C-alpha cells in the first residue's frame, strides 16, 4: 500500500510538472505576439513624440524669429517717431527760444 501511495505521489508530481511545462509553453508561444504588440505601441508613441518635438522646435524658431523682427520694428518705429514728432517740436521750441538744441 505504501508503494501505491508513493507511485501516486510521483504521478501527481509529474502531473504538476507537465502543467508547469504547458503553462511555460503558452507563455513562450504568446511572447512573439506580445513583443510585436509592445513594439507597435512604442513606435506609435515615438511617432507622436517626434511629431510634437518637431512642432515645438518649429514654433520656437518662429517665435525667436518674430521676436527679432519685432525688435527691429520697434527700433525703426522709435527712431521714426523721434524724427517725426520730437525733432520738429524741439526745433519749434528752439526757434521760440524756450530750449536750446543739444
Residue bearing cell 505504501: 2
HSE-up of residue 5 (Cα within 13 Å, Cβ side): 2
Contact 94, 101 (CB under 8 A): yes
pTM: 0.49
Neighbouring residues of 91: CB distance < 8 A, sequence distance ≥ 6: 101
5-61: per-residue pLDDT in tens? 999 999 999 999 999 999 999 999 999 999 999 999 999 999 999 999 999 999 999
76-92: per-residue pLDDT in tens? 888 887 778 777 877 77
CA–CA gap between residue 34 and residue 26 (Å, rounded): 12
Neighbouring residues of 101: CB distance < 8 A, sequence distance ≥ 6: 90, 91, 94
Amino acid at each position: 500500500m505504501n508503494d501505491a501511495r508513493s507511485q501516486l505521489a510521483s504521478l501527481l508530481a509529474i502531473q504538476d510538472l507537465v502543467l508547469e511545462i504547458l503553462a511555460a509553453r503558452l507563455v513562450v508561444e504568446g511572447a512573439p505576439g506580445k513583443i510585436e504588440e509592445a513594439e507597435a505601441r512604442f513606435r506609435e508613441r515615438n511617432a507622436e513624440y517626434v511629431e510634437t518635438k518637431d512642432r515645438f522646435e518649429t514654433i520656437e524658431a518662429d517665435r525667436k524669429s518674430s521676436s527679432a523682427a519685432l525688435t527691429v520694428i520697434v527700433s525703426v518705429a522709435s527712431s521714426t517717431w523721434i524724427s517725426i514728432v520730437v525733432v520738429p517740436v524741439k526745433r519749434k521750441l528752439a526757434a521760440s527760444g524756450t530750449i536750446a538744441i543739444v
